[in-house]
Amino acid sequence: MDLFDKAKKFEKLATANKEYDFSKSITLANKFDKKFNKTSQTASSTEPARKALVKLLTNQWTADQANFPAEARNLYSSLRYPQGELSFQNLADTATKIYQVLTKSKNQNTINFATKNLMPFIDSLKAQSAKQPSVPAPQQESTVQVPELKITPSKSKYPSIPKDVQTKLNKILVPTGDIFPLKEPPDGILGPETQKALDAFKTKYNFENLPLPKLIERIREHEVPTV
């Protein structure tokens, strides 16, 4: 059994067996990391980003074990022990799947981590992917930096929107999977994500021709089903 198979077997045990001691699993995972890193023949241009993403997810798993679902752990395992080089797009796709799993959680801290920490990282990975050639040149060192964990666009270029409308959009559209959660607490800024949420509401409820003030009234009047 090679190192990859051992790592996968361990991850399956650690994620599936609830009685398995978590602290022991983390200690063993760190040992696997050291051995895994020694098996790499050449440094990948995306390796710093992969390690940073793994660290971000490891910190969340360690801090809140109960609210890191098994499905997210299995995806995390494929990032921690990849069987080959992962592109920025590969990293972004897997991280997006983890994001989708975490935002289905009923735990607000888990949702906050996904929206405030993981999603900005995913956006940075996608931006890096757009800059990369489709086939990396062999034997060429890269100076790609680790993606920023926080993205803070200028708020002055966007108009404002009532904060209660952003909160209501979350309640209406997030449970049905029409949008990713908007910031909590709301920022009152009609940025790109809020605009996407408005467009999703217009399309879903046939309000395409309504001006913004009327659309805001419809959002406020909309009844949110209780679970």
Residue 50 DSSP label: H
Q: pLDDT by residue for the chain (227 residues), tens digit each?
A: 555 566 566 666 666 655 555 566 666 666 666 665 555 444 568 889 898 999 999 998 888 888 888 888 888 888 888 877 888 899 999 999 999 989 888 888 889 898 888 999 999 889 888 887 654 545 555 555 655 545 444 444 789 999 999 999 999 999 988 999 998 889 999 999 999 999 999 999 999 889 999 999 999 999 887 65
Q: Are 136 and 106 in contact (CB under 8 A)?
A: no
Looking at residue 155, its pLDDT comes to 47
Q: Are 62 and 26 in contact (CB under 8 A)?
A: yes
Contact residues for 67 (Cβ-Cβ < 8 A; gap 6+)? 105, 107, 109, 110
The model's pTM: 0.45
**Residue in 169, 200, 172 with CA at minimum distance from that of residue 183:** 169
